[in-house]
Amino acid sequence: MTFDRAIKIAPSILAADFANFGAECAAAEAQGADWIHVDVMDGHFVPNITFGPATCAAIRPHIKGVMDVHLMISPVDAYIDAFAQSGADVLTAHIEAGPHIHRTLQAIRAAGCKAGVALNPGTPASAVEDLMDMVDLVCVMTVNPGFGGQKFIDMTTKIKALRSMIGDRPVHIEIDGGVDPKTAPLVAQAGADVLVAGSAVFKGGSVQNPAPYGENIRAIRAAAEGVWA
């Protein structure tokens, strides 16, 4: 993975056909996705359950680019090796998932993955200030995690604070929740470069009819990049 601050669209397969993840990932990439975002939920840290490392490993061969695994689980540490072995490129843990995020981030890098830290909407930017040299990505949740298709919560002030905290470090700012062509410019303007989008990418299409995925991805990208026009 090389670092850049260009806008990257990361479709969340939470909004894809759960019986067809491999083909959905391949279709999203063929239609212009930069990363594939994989939402792992445990029914404990968040009030919903999705899947674990075996599913990530099964999906991996169908993704050519970056597999971005968002762990909405608690505890995290006991599962890091399994998710790393599943082929994740980025492993993101929530700062709210336990008392030892520092140890968790060390373990993620030691397992050979890029390390991400995610912040719920109620967690301030200052909570990650002492972690800047041990992360490759900060994920700003713009919904309360657990479900796709929720309304965007404006976290622009937090994104700007993180952007200045990061300075010239090679750290991505990822936005997760309610990203669509209307909200993408707000977060891009504030300094985000990775835009996760579930419903706004997968709506209107299917593996048999993937063209809408491409239209949706292009619409989000154009809206985000329009900020710089």
User: Is 89 marked active-site?
Assistant: no
| CA separation, residue 209 to residues 24, 110, 149, 202, 213 (Å) | 11, 41, 21, 11, 9
Sign (positive/negative) of CA torsion 164, 144, 12, 67?
positive
Among 70, 114, 158, 221, interactor with Zn ion by CB under 5 A: 70
Work out how close the CB of 167 gets to ligand DX5 at its nearest, in angstroms, rounded to a whole number: 27
Q: Find out whether 85 and 57 touch, Cβ atoms under 8 Å.
A: yes
Q: Which residue is nearest to ligand DX5 (CB)?
A: 198
> Is 221 one of the binding residues for ligand DX5 (CB under 6 A)?
no
> Is 176 one of the binding residues for Zn ion (CB under 5 A)?
yes
Interatomic CA distance for residues 40 and 177, integer angstroms: 15
Work out how close the CB of 92 gets to Zn ion at its nearest, in angstroms, rounded to a whole number: 8
User: Is 39 marked active-site?
Assistant: yes
Binding map of ligand DX5 across residues 13-42, x = CB under 6 A, - = no contact: -xx---------------------x-x---
Q: Cite the beta strand spans of 151-210 per DSSP E.
A: 172-176, 194-197
Residue 109: Cβ-neighbour burial (10 angstroms; 0-12, 13-18, 19+): middle
Q: Which of 34, 39, 89, 136 is catalytic?
A: 39
Token look-up 């965007």 returns 152
Binding map of Zn ion across residues 26-65, x = CB under 5 A, - = no contact: -------------x--------------------------
Active site residues: 39, 176
